[in-house]
Amino acid sequence: MITARITVDPRGRIGAIDRRLFGGFVEHLGRHVYDGIYEPGHPTADADGFRQDVVELVRELGVTTIRYPGGNFVSGFRWEDSVGPRAARPRRLDLAWHSTETNEVGLHEFAGWLDKVGSELMLAVNLGTRGVAEALDLLEYTNIPGGTTTSERRRANGRDEPFAVRMWCLGNEMDGPWQLGHRSADDYGKLATQTARAMRQLDPGLQLVVCGSSSRDMPTFGAWERTVLAHSYDDVDYISCHAYYAEKDGDRGSFLASGVDMDLFIEEVVRAADEVGAARGTGKRIDISFDEWNIWYVDRYHDEDEATGIGNWPIAPRILEDNYSVLDAVVFGSLMISLLTHADRVTSASLAQLVNVIAPIMTEPGGPAWRQTTFFPFATTARLARGEAIRLQLDVPSYPTARYGDVRLVDAVATRDAEAGRSALFLVNRSLTDAVTVTVDVAGLGAGSVLAADTLADTDLDARNTLEEPQRVGLAPNASVALAEGVLTIELPPVSWTAVELAD
């Protein structure tokens, strides 16, 4: 039997948890919007064509902010196509995903859907094929109450009040050669800065995100951040990080340790940002918007699904429809632990994505909607992780990995909402073979009783929820939990993710 001892570090306050840490991402990609959130004619569709079964699941998931409309899609997107009378909206080639975009759902419809799910809109502007002028036009359309041609156009299109969008991404993954309008760090840094200054001249209250690296493995990683921030530091609030993880070559041990990569990524970007900041000496701090993160078997997409050819531009093709396993969900849960462990500097994050496309929610046209395995760690963490994130001292054995060297078998973080008198623990056991019995000195959290302890685990690590068996995998109460004299004991099964809810 492996044992681990966890204590609450009295100096362990990491920081207040910004609710934007539990954001999502909707891109016009595959069956995300069309045949995903929007399916007129579906038995649950409302008068606007939005599936109510999906609305309910998105609400249950608890996503706070939703980034829109891309992703790679945004770098070829003309926002004007997506507003005004539907019959007059153009059909366009979407070069990013080799698809046809009908623009049937655009800015107004999407904002209406966000009202139904109760999330905040976070917009990205196109800095791939467009620039400052178009970003300003969009901002005028969304945020100016009226009295100008562009703002009156919004009102004529049925939206009297401004959309009042606060958070904006200055392009998407501009470091990636696959991106339309891909630029050098120097060129992008200048363009992003010009755009940020212009946008703030129009609306000084904006929160702006400059593009960081598309992954820690990019050859330009590090240098990209330093160069882009050297230009834009004074004009933006966040730099983005994007990271996708997958099991490769059957190396489950390294896959289970993906959180180590996310930790390093965040810490290296913070270091780069703080170095640029220190040289300026203004005391201003740049935070991280981890605005794309997930498990994604990207190689499967390229191998099997991609439409090609000059005459083949499908509408809403079935692409990037990863079906997540128990193993994937445990790694996913550990990534949420990494995000919380850096809550002082990661103050916004977007799970990429939300419905059908590398998503926690799946749908079938005319049929049901269901929760993937990854739904459970997200919904539970978003619900329980409130107040402050608290660092834990982990006295746990390690295991060897090919990618990251020796890695802790157990990772964990705590949260505490002093006002509500509630705390929570989030734990992952990365062992492929052994259960770990963990003792946690929860007295330091002020916790006196256990309200719930739920674990995601299965003897079949490949088990998944599917159309045929939508409830095969879920959370189960962890009956081993006990709390006596300020010490909580719980057994974590091999390859498992657990959340414990505590009351003072």
353 versus 373: smaller Cβ distance to ligand AHR:
353
Cα distance between residue 106 and residue 163, in whole Å: 13
CB 358 to ligand AHR: min, Å = 6
User: Are 481 and 447 within 8 A, CB to CB?
Assistant: no
Is 120 designated active site? no
Q: Alpha carbon of 391 to those of 11, 347, 394, 501: distances in Å?
A: 8, 16, 9, 16
Cα distance between residue 458 and residue 374, in whole Å: 14
Q: What residues are paired with 449 via a beta bridge?
A: 503
User: Are 490 and 453 within 8 A, CB to CB?
Assistant: yes
CB 372 to ligand AHR: min, Å = 15
Q: Alpha carbon of 498 to those of 372, 475, 494: distances in Å?
A: 17, 9, 11
Instruction: Choose, from 109, 292, 491, 501, the residue flagged as catalytic.
Output: 292
298 versus 432: smaller Cβ distance to ligand AHR:
298
CB 320 to ligand AHR: min, Å = 7
Cα distance between residue 323 and residue 159, in whole Å: 38
27 versus 287: smaller Cβ distance to ligand AHR:
27
CB 74 to ligand AHR: min, Å = 8
Is 173 designated active site? yes
CB 305 to ligand AHR: min, Å = 13
User: What is the Rg, in whole angstroms, of the alpha carbon atoms belonging to the chain?
Assistant: 23
| H or E stretch at 52 | helix 52-61
CB 27 to ligand AHR: min, Å = 5
Instruction: Choose, from 101, 140, 173, 388, the residue flagged as catalytic.
Output: 173
DSSP state at residue 470 = T
Binding site for ligand AHR (CB under 6 A): 27, 70-72, 172-173, 214, 292, 352-353
Question: Cβ neighbours of residue 465 under 8 Å, at least 6 residues apart?
Answer: 323, 362, 370, 371, 372, 373, 471, 472, 473
70 versus 494: smaller Cβ distance to ligand AHR:
70
350 versus 478: smaller Cβ distance to ligand AHR:
350
* Residue nearest to ligand AHR as judged by C-beta position: 71
154 versus 183: smaller Cβ distance to ligand AHR:
183
Question: Cβ neighbours of residue 81 under 8 Å, at least 6 residues apart?
Answer: 89, 90, 92, 101, 103, 106
Q: What residues are paired with 352 via a beta bridge?
A: 25
Cα distance between residue 8 and residue 63, in whole Å: 28
Active site residues: 173, 292
